[in-house]
């Protein structure tokens, strides 16, 4: 095959992945028919097959889901452990490849289509990778919160190939079916534990040489993220490439000694380097990053050999096609694009340039390369993770050569001399000294230049400016004056853009996806109010922790009542600036607050806020906790928003006459419970948009079918955070409210625009 096919091949693979993700199964049948029709033409046949293979893989991954009727049912599974993560407090996370699955109850749908699950297990610390276990589990379809500018856990589960999540039941007790086969990697880790005391150097040696990133603790990862050096410890092209380079140098050196006249012509050193590359990827666990690095290194070895090899750009496209064919889901992994963007810039920097001369020339060339990579990778990381490590460019100037030229070689030499303990100990002692020095450098750098998370609207302009800055200095034949002028413009432009603002008289209402709880963020042109703070789960986690960078400023925080699904996030607000808390009189909120009461109101930027409940001076013992909820009415021009907390129908009837219908947006009471959002409220207020803030597959059955049926209307929009994720409205103009949902769903929509 001519290397001119590399780019079309890569494009065909990409198209197949996208079609498999977006298109129905019937489209696969059409492509199979097309393959039969074009079978005579070899080139076209290859492209169609390149589309079909990833399409089949994507369709298969989409079809391997837990049947809806088996959610939270007891299932008996047998599977092999592929990953174990300790979460502390006796809890572990298991990843299992499923071999057998069957429901324990009779007359249930089969679950033998499941392939890979993620489980929580409490009280067991005996699970090992490679072991086969028989477990009784309860599963649920992959789910996660979906909020603007936050980590999409559900998308992460999908791209990692996880078909369901759940937990291991204690009864019947888990049973080990088969011991794990002895692996070289496990043996090496055990030997490392025996040779070195527990500490930073042992963790980093395991990560850098064996790909055991799970050995690093939270402090290590936080430091690496803040300093922009995570790429140094995750098995990547840097590590695999170094191993391949050492193997190639050793092989060619041996060939030069044994065959001095023909050593340049022999091919076995290249094959030896390729085999070592594959072996090292297998040794490091053969996860997606190791697979990607292995493929890219093998293609790189082919290019470097010069034997019927493609050019750099053809090799780039070929490597991309091969990586995506092996793992189509990697298209959605940031690591793939970070790797290929970096290699693309390296090609731009080095292609067509004369080879540096002498040590000084090489050092200058490598320094220039690192300085050009820094802004491009900073922009790519900013797009992928919404964070910027200001210390990264300077730290990497030291850390990259330190790790690649000293630490990794010393670590690998220690393994090479493992049968000579004194030499091995010397190598690892030097490695430990360098780790301590690097650790100190990273800590010092992040103290002076801490991790920065820009505002969401700044991410794209900043990332684009950083990428253009790298290209401006990497592209050849540009005048220095043009490079300098362009750099000045790119340095100033992103910070001179005005922040988006709401016009006077408008309000933005965002009902966040926090599971079984409620958290509503209301903003006007210059002010901000938080209604409820979301739940606190039994694990101690609170969704509010992940919604915004700290610190945020809130003019008022209304805690409707003290149930943990509404007030659970109050402790997190200590990290933010809150001017005033409001809650029902007599509640134990945990912070000083003023009482919300009917009749109290205020104006912000042309928008009116007014409490309708509880009555002024009401006794705390007069109402149940739910019925003490603060009920808030917001009016922006002629458009109205009503948030009722958890009050029941009896209380709803008490304040209905204080509201002029219609209500444009109603946050359904008590998450859609049948005790709230009664017929009188629906008939009198005629809400146009109604949202249920509830958790997916929650134990309470919210929203209740009776409430949903009551609200169904051809001209009414129903929303659910469980299905739609966070939903945002902008109200206050004469036009229909602008609505944005974070996740598409099958939830019924209105059939025509509403005022």
Span 729-750, pLDDT tens digits? 999 977 778 899 998 655 555 5
Q: What is the mean pLDDT of residues 543-569?
A: 94
In the predicted structure, residue 435 carries a pLDDT above the cut 50? yes
Q: How far is Cα 309 from Cα 312, in angstroms, rounded to an integer?
A: 9
- CA 557 and chain centroid, separation: 29
In the predicted structure, residue 254 carries a pLDDT above the cut 70? yes
Structural contact between residues 495 and 366, judged by C-beta atoms closer than 8 angstroms: no
Please state, as a whole number, how many other Cβ atoms lie within 10 Å of the Cβ of residue 368: 14
In the prediction, which pLDDT does 752 show?
41
3-class SS at 175?
strand
Q: How far is Cα 345 from Cα 336, in angstroms, rounded to an integer?
A: 14
Q: What is the mean pLDDT of residues 671-696?
A: 95
pLDDT confidence band for 473 (50 / 70 / 90): very high
Please state, as a whole number, how many other Cβ atoms lie within 10 Å of the Cβ of residue 554: 19
In the predicted structure, residue 444 carries a pLDDT above the cut 50? yes
Structural contact between residues 139 and 75, judged by C-beta atoms closer than 8 angstroms: yes
Structural domain contains residue 38 = no
Per residue in 189-229, pLDDT tens?
899 999 998 889 999 999 999 888 888 888 999 999 999 99
Q: How far is Cα 446 from Cα 434, in angstroms, rounded to an integer?
A: 18
Q: How far is Cα 438 from Cα 446, in angstroms, rounded to an integer?
A: 12
In the prediction, which pLDDT does 750 show?
58
In the predicted structure, residue 345 carries a pLDDT above the cut 90? yes
Q: Measuring CA to CA, which residue among 371, 555, 337, 331 is closest to residue 474?
A: 371
In the predicted structure, residue 587 carries a pLDDT above the cut 90? no
User: Looking at the DSSP assignment, which residues form a beta bridge with residue 611?
Assistant: 632
Structural domain contains residue 694 = yes
Structural contact between residues 428 and 201, judged by C-beta atoms closer than 8 angstroms: yes
**Of the residues 178, 213, 230, the one at which a domain ends:** 178
In the predicted structure, residue 158 carries a pLDDT above the cut 50? yes
End-to-end Cα, the chain, rounded Å: 60
Q: Measuring CA to CA, which residue among 273, 159, 289 is closest to residue 212?
A: 289
Phi-psi region of 477 (alpha: psi -120 to 50; beta: other; left: phi over 0): left
Structural domain contains residue 84 = yes
Structural domain contains residue 488 = no
In the predicted structure, residue 357 carries a pLDDT above the cut 90? no
Per residue in 257-279, pLDDT tens?
988 878 888 889 999 999 999 99
Per residue in 118-156, pLDDT tens?
999 987 667 888 899 999 999 988 888 999 988 888 889
Q: Which domain holds residue 713?
A: 507-741
Q: How far is Cα 665 from Cα 342, in angstroms, rounded to an integer?
A: 47
Per-residue 3-state assignment (H helix, E strand, C coil) for 655-707: HHHHCCCCCCEEECHHHHCCCCCCHHHHHHHCCCEEEECCCCCCCCCCCCHHH
Q: What is the mean pLDDT of residues 434-452?
A: 94
Q: Which residues does 33 contact at the CB level (< 8 Å), separation at least 6? A: none
Question: Long-range pairs for 127-130 at CB < 8 Å and ≥24 separation?
Answer: 127/81, 127/84, 127/92, 127/94, 128/81, 128/84, 128/180, 128/186, 129/81, 129/82, 129/83, 129/84, 129/180, 129/186, 130/80, 130/81, 130/180, 130/181, 130/183, 130/186
Please state, as a whole number, how many other Cβ atoms lie within 10 Å of the Cβ of residue 495: 11
In the predicted structure, residue 697 carries a pLDDT above the cut 60? yes
**Of the residues 178, 201, 223, the one at which a domain ends:** 178
Per residue in 598-638, pLDDT tens?
999 999 999 999 999 999 877 666 677 899 999 999 999 99
Structural domain contains residue 712 = yes
In the predicted structure, residue 34 carries a pLDDT above the cut 70? no
* CATH code where residue 549 lies: 3.60.15.10
Q: How far is Cα 252 from Cα 267, in angstroms, rounded to an integer?
A: 9
- String of DSSP letters for 222-233: HHHHHHT-GGGT
* CATH code where residue 77 lies: 2.40.50
In the prediction, which pLDDT does 38 show?
64
3-class SS at 599?
coil
Structural domain contains residue 450 = no
Share of the chain above pLDDT 70, in %: 94
Least confident range of 150-159, 429-438, 563-572: 150-159
Least confident range of 62-66, 311-315, 422-426, 502-506: 62-66
Q: Give 29: exposed, middle or buried? Use CB within 10 Å, 0-12, 13-18, 19+.
A: exposed
Whether omega before 689 lies within 30 degrees of 0, making that bond cis, reads no
In the prediction, which pLDDT does 172 show?
86
Q: Measuring CA to CA, which residue among 749, 709, 707, 703 is closest to residue 722?
A: 703
In the predicted structure, residue 403 carries a pLDDT above the cut 60? yes
Structural domain contains residue 460 = no
In the predicted structure, residue 104 carries a pLDDT above the cut 70? yes
Compute the radius of gyration of the chain from its Cα atoms. Answer: 30
In the prediction, which pLDDT does 1 show?
46
63 membership: H or E segment, kind and range: helix 42-63
Q: How far is Cα 298 from Cα 620, in angstroms, rounded to an integer?
A: 72
Q: Give 160: exposed, middle or buried? Use CB within 10 Å, 0-12, 13-18, 19+.
A: middle
3-class SS at 347?
helix
In the predicted structure, residue 511 carries a pLDDT above the cut 60? yes
More confident residue, 313 or 2: 313
Average pLDDT, the chain: 89
In the prediction, which pLDDT does 755 show?
40
Angle CA(462)–CA(466)–CA(467) in degrees, nearest 5? 120
Cα dist from 573 to 17, 303, 517, 525, 561, whole Å: 43, 55, 17, 22, 16
Per residue in 657-667, pLDDT tens?
889 999 999 99
Q: How far is Cα 53 from Cα 328, in angstroms, rounded to an integer?
A: 9
Per residue in 698-735, pLDDT tens?
888 999 999 999 998 877 899 999 999 999 999 997 77
pLDDT confidence band for 338 (50 / 70 / 90): very high
Structural domain contains residue 695 = yes
In the predicted structure, residue 58 carries a pLDDT above the cut 90? no
Per residue in 380-390, pLDDT tens?
999 999 899 99
- String of DSSP letters for 377-421: HHHHHHHHHS-B-TTHHHHHHHHHHHIIIIIHHHHHHHHHTTTSH
Number of domains in the chain: 2
Share of the chain above pLDDT 90, in %: 58
**Of the residues 132, 153, 178, the one at which a domain ends:** 178
Q: What is the reported pTM?
A: 0.87
pLDDT confidence band for 40 (50 / 70 / 90): low
In the predicted structure, residue 461 carries a pLDDT above the cut 50? yes
């Amino acid at each position: 095959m001519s290397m001119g096919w590399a780019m079309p091949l890569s494009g065909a693979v990409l198209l197949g992945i996208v079609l498999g993700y977006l298109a129905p199964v019937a489209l696969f049948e059409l492509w199979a028919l097309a393959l039969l029709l074009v079978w005579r033409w070899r080139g076209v046949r290859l492209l169609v097959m390149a589309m079909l293979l990833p399409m089949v893989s994507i369709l298969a991954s989409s079809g391997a889901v837990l049947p809806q009727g088996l959610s939270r049912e007891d299932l008996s599974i047998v599977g092999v452990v592929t990953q174990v993560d300790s979460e502390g407090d006796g809890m572990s996370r298991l990843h299992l490849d499923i071999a057998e699955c069957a429901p324990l109850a009779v007359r249930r749908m089969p679950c033998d289509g499941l392939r890979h699950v993620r489980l929580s297990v409490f009280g067991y610390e005996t699970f090992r990778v490679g072991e086969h276990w028989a477990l009784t589990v309860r599963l649920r379809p992959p789910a996660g919160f979906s909020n603007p500018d936050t980590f999409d856990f559900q998308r992460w589960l999908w791209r990692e190939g996880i078909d369901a999540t759940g937990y291991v039941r204690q009864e019947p007790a888990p049973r080990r079916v088969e011991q794990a086969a002895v692996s070289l990697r496990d043996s090496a880790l055990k030997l490392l534990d025996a040779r070195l005391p527990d500490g930073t150097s042992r963790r980093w040696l395991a990560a850098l040489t064996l790909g055991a990133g799970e050995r690093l603790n939270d402090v290590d990862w936080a430091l690496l993220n803040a300093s922009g050096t995570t790429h140094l410890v995750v098995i990547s092209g840097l590590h695999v490439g170094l191993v391949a380079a050492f193997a190639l140098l050793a092989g060619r050196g041996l060939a030069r000694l044994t065959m001095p006249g023909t050593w340049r012509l022999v091919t076995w050193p290249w094959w030896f380097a390729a085999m070592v590359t594959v072996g090292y990827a297998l040794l490091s666990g053969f996860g997606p990053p190791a697979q990607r690095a292995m493929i890219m290194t093998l293609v790189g070895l082919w290019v470097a050999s010069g034997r019927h090899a493609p050019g750099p750009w053809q090799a780039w496209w070929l490597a991309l096609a091969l990586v995506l064919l092996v793992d189509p889901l990697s298209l959605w992994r940031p690591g793939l694009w970070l790797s290929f963007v970096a290699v693309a810039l390296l090609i731009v920097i080095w292609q067509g340039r004369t080879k540096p001369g002498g040590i000084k020339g090489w050092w200058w060339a490598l320094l220039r390369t690192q300085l050009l990579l820094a802004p491009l990778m900073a922009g790519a990381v900013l797009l992928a993770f919404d964070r910027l490590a200001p210390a990264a460019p300077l730290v990497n100037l030291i850390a990259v050569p330190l790790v690649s030229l000293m630490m990794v070689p010393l670590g690998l030499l220690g393994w090479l001399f493992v049968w000579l303990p004194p030499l091995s100990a010397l190598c690892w002692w030097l490695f430990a000294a360098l780790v301590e020095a690097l650790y100190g450098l990273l800590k010092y750098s992040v103290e002076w230049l801490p991790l920065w998370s820009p505002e969401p609207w700044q991410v794209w302009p900043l990332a684009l400016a950083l990428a253009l800055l790298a290209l401006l200095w990497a592209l050849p034949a540009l005048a220095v004056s043009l490079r300098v002028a362009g750099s000045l413009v790119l340095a100033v432009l992103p910070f001179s853009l005005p922040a988006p603002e709401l016009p006077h008289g408008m309000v933005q209402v965002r009902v966040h996806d926090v599971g079984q709880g409620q958290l509503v963020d209301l903003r006007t042109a210059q002010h901000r109010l938080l209604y409820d703070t979301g739940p606190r789960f039994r694990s101690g986690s609170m969704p509010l922790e992940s919604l915004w960078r700290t610190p945020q400023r809130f003019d008022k925080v209304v805690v409707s009542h003290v149930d943990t699904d509404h007030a659970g996030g109050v402790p997190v607000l200590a990290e933010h600036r809150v001017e005033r808390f409001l809650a029902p009189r007599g509640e134990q909120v945990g912070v000083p607050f003023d009482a919300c009461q009917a009749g109290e109101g205020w104006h912000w930027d042309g928008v009116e806020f007014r409490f309708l409940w509880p009555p002024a001076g009401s006794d705390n013992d007069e109402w149940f906790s739910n019925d003490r909820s603060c009920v808030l009415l917001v009016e922006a021009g002629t458009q109205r928003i009503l948030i009722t907390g958890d009050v029941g129908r009896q209380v709803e009837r008490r304040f209905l006459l204080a509201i002029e219908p219609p209500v444009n947006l109603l946050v359904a009471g008590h998450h859609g419970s049948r005790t709230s959002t009664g017929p009188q409220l629906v008939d009198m207020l005629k809400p146009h948009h109604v949202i249920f803030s509830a958790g997916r597959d929650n134990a309470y059955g919210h929203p209740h079918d009776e409430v949903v049926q009551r609200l169904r209307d051809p001209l009414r929009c129903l929303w659910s955070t469980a299905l739609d994720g966070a939903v945002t409205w902008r109200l206050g103009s004469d036009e229909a409210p602008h609505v944005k949902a974070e996740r598409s769903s099958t939830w019924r929509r209105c059939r025509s625009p509403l005022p």
